[in-house]
Amino acid sequence: MSALANFSVKQKDGSYKNYTISINDTTDQYGNNVVVYISQTKEEREAKAKKTYLGNGKVVWTDGNIIVAEKKVQKQVTNANEDIDQSLPF
C-alpha cells in the first residue's frame, strides 16, 4: 500500500502550484520510498502523461501506521460583547 499527500505552494504571481508526495511500501535500488512530483490533472493521468519529478527520499521514522488526518472544524469567533441570536440556523 502506498500513501499520497497533496500540497500547494503560492507562486510570486499569486497563482498556486500543486505537488504530490507518494510514500511507497517498497524501496528502489537506492533505498528511497518517497517521491515528490508536480500534480497531474485527471486528463493527464488518464492519458498516461509523463510526470515531472522533483525529488525522492526515504522515510526515516514511522510508528508503523499511516492514517488519514482528520479535518478540524473551525469555531466561529465572536465578540464577547455581541448578543448572539440563538434562533438562527447557522
**13 inside domain:** yes
Q: In Å, how far from its chain's centre is CA 64? A: 20
List 18's β-bridge partners, or say none. Answer: 8
Specify the pLDDT at position 13. Answer: 95
**79 inside domain:** no
**86 inside domain:** no
Residue showing cell 528511497? 32
Number of folded domains in the chain? Answer: 1
| Residue-range definition of the domain harbouring residue 21 | 3-57
Q: How far apart are CA 10 and CA 89, in angstroms?
A: 35
**40 inside domain:** yes
Q: How far apart are CA 7 and CA 36, in angstroms?
A: 10
At 24-47, the pLDDT tens digits run: 888 888 888 899 999 999 999 999
What is the widest separation between alpha-carbon atoms in the chain? 64
Who wins on pLDDT, 75 or 49? 49
At 57-85, the pLDDT tens digits run: 887 776 777 665 565 666 666 555 555 66
